[in-house]
Amino acid sequence: MDAKRVRRQGEADQDPEMEKGERWRGVEVALVGLLITLPLLVFLFGGHWSTSAFFSRGAPLPASTKGSRNVSSSSSSAAASLPTIPTPKNILGGLLSPAFDERSCLSRYKSALYRRASPFAPSSYLVERLRKYEALHKKCGPNSRRYREAVEQLNSGHNSHDSQCQYVIWFPCNGLGNRMLSLAATFLYALLTNRVLLTYVPKEQANLFCEPFPGSSWVLPPYFPIQNFYRFNRDSPQSYANMLKNKVISNNVNVSAESLPAYVYFHLEQFRLRLDNNIFCEDDQLILAKFNWMILKSDSYFVPPLFLMPMYEDELRRLFPAKESVFHHLGRYLFHPSNSVWGIITRYYESYLTKADERLGLQIRIFPEKPISFDDMYDQLFKCLMKEELLPTTTTTESSSNSSSTIKRLKSVLVTSLYSGYYEKIKSMYYENPTSTGEIVAIYQPSHEEWQHSEAQTHNQKALAEMFLLSYNDKVVISAWSTFGYVAHGLAGLKPWILLRPSWNQKTADPPCLRAMSVEPCLHSPPSLDCKAKRDVDPGALVPHVRHCEDVGQGLKLVD
């Protein structure tokens, strides 16, 4: 998660005496070479990338004279360039701080140019709170005097009541989609509780993201007093639930801060479709607020339960007037691909997707605990695409509108899947048959890894690139239960079509897909909410803006 400064290319190498005519002749030669060789490369290699080569497979890039959105200023020109970088003072409506060097993280300034305009404007209060948080992070973050004092307190083995800074250390688990969702939820928790967020970055997650906070780092420094975070789990004696159970701490809200251990561990990993700890009760939060150091491990988007807590109600209302915009805003604030990953994203987009009049993203994930045969999954996907009119039907008859002189509408389809079969079958259908509408349908798939390798850095780089590429589509179809899909449509601000899981007695789901009720991700495993009543209650029936998910019956999501 580092932000590397990129020197302006050519500043030290240009000959100031070079005449303009010579420079432009060089540019013309380069452009002619590019225009000649790029279609040939595309025709030969198509729209896949692999570890060994960027181009490896795919369909040819169809010609088009029509452009789309604001990526190209003139789509009829192969040399069309991106618009200038937005004014730093008003990036994403003020969501992002202007206190960054533009070249240190290109995606921070350019990513929004590849998407449609956001359906949600950040509230002025959210912008204000983010600037205040950044100031707090700079004051208390790594290498600050207050951080060193807090580490000394941690080393003492005791908590302190007069600490000027409190911290939450996020520790990841499971795949990249889970990590991004849980990290966004942890940052919201840090905002609500005035804690400084520090992240433990394993080697497989290195060099994925730029630093989100100016003037400081969110990466936990090496040589931190607590080592081997992997030892923490639901049975750890340092967990809040176990400390209560073993009477290491009292559940009395008046307990003194000095009597508490030096840190508390928060286990928020789903277990049997329930968040393991009952922590979303106000009495628990009042006790937890006394700990200066908190370690939080999670694989879940635990935002919906925060909206069920009266103590945070007013603050959340002011932060997010549109409740379904939480991940959309926090995700775009926190997650900026590093320059190396951004290069992968832009090279693929500008090679294959930039000329389309409309873009459709398909994300297909098969989970081992709920296997579905390829034929059944493809049948369900095809029914969804046809029923919702997301792709045109095909015909066996060539029409006059398919003549070479007719300007055709180009629709690109980006397939993201561990498997290549869906891409191959859809591509063959539109390669072998004309469409009934006369449209050209081009199918692309960047990679097909076959297996998820969350422990591999290159796998995570490609996964992040594909999440962002998926988020640059106009419409998105995602698989039920997939956090990968949640991240993509959340960043885009799109309500996706969700491919439902078939029930136990079905081969394919009926209906095959549903349109999501909101942009927000789903929390698969809700917590227990027996705070006052001492009995379990249905969290999806307490307030109108927290409902059960379309794809996960017991799950929770925010709606407006």
Q: Quick: pLDDT tens for 358-401.
A: 999 999 999 877 889 999 999 999 999 999 999 999 998 776 55
Is residue 453's pLDDT more than 80? no
Predicted local confidence at residue 406, as pLDDT: 66
Q: pLDDT class for 29, splitting at 50, 70, 90?
A: very low
Q: Averaged over 271-290, what is the pLDDT?
A: 76
Predicted local confidence at residue 457, as pLDDT: 78
**Nearest-angstrom CA–CA distance, 405 and 428:** 24
Q: pLDDT class for 534, splitting at 50, 70, 90?
A: low
Task: Mean pLDDT check: name the lowest of 38-47, 120-129, 327-336, 523-532.
Answer: 38-47
Task: For residue 519, give the nearest of 540, 543, 498 by alpha carbon.
Answer: 498
Largest CA distance in the chain: 83
Q: Averaged over 32-41, what is the pLDDT?
A: 42
Is residue 183's pLDDT more than 90? yes
Q: Within 13 Å and on the Cβ side, how many CA atoms surround 174? A: 19
| Each residue's pLDDT tens digit, 322-345 | 999 999 999 999 999 999 999 999
Predicted local confidence at residue 275, as pLDDT: 63
Task: Mark 137-161 as b/e (b = at least 16 C-beta within 10 Å).
Answer: bebbbbebeebeebbebbeeeebbe
Q: Averaged over 52-77, what is the pLDDT?
A: 34
| Each residue's pLDDT tens digit, 458-492 | 879 999 999 999 999 999 999 999 999 999 999 99
The full length of the chain comes to: 560
Predicted local confidence at residue 163, as pLDDT: 82
Predicted local confidence at residue 21, as pLDDT: 41
Q: Give the angle subtended at the CA of 552 by the CAs of 550 and 556, to the nearest 5°.
A: 80
Q: Averaged over 115-132, what is the pLDDT?
A: 95
Predicted local confidence at residue 535, as pLDDT: 64
Mean pLDDT score across all residues of the chain: 82
Task: For residue 331, give the nearest of 4, 509, 24, 107 by alpha carbon.
Answer: 107
| Each residue's pLDDT tens digit, 492-527 | 999 999 999 998 788 889 999 999 999 999 999 887
Q: pLDDT class for 264, splitting at 50, 70, 90?
A: very high
Predicted local confidence at residue 5, as pLDDT: 35
**Nearest-angstrom CA–CA distance, 378 and 365:** 12
Is residue 57's pLDDT more than 90? no
Q: Which two tokens stand for residue 500?
A: 């439902």
Asked whether the CA dihedral 355, 415, 204, 167 is positive or negative, the reply is positive
| Each residue's pLDDT tens digit, 67-108 | 335 443 333 332 233 444 455 557 899 999 988 888 889 999
Tokens 């359906």 found at = 119
Q: Averaged over 239-246, what is the pLDDT?
A: 90
Give the domains, in start order, of the chain with CATH numbers: 124-328 (no CATH), 339-558 (3.40.50.11350)
Predicted local confidence at residue 369, as pLDDT: 77
Q: pLDDT class for 274, splitting at 50, 70, 90?
A: low
Alpha helices in 46-199 (DSSP H): 106-110, 124-140, 145-155, 176-193
Task: For residue 134, give the nearest of 102, 96, 166 by alpha carbon.
Answer: 96
**Nearest-angstrom CA–CA distance, 138 and 30:** 45
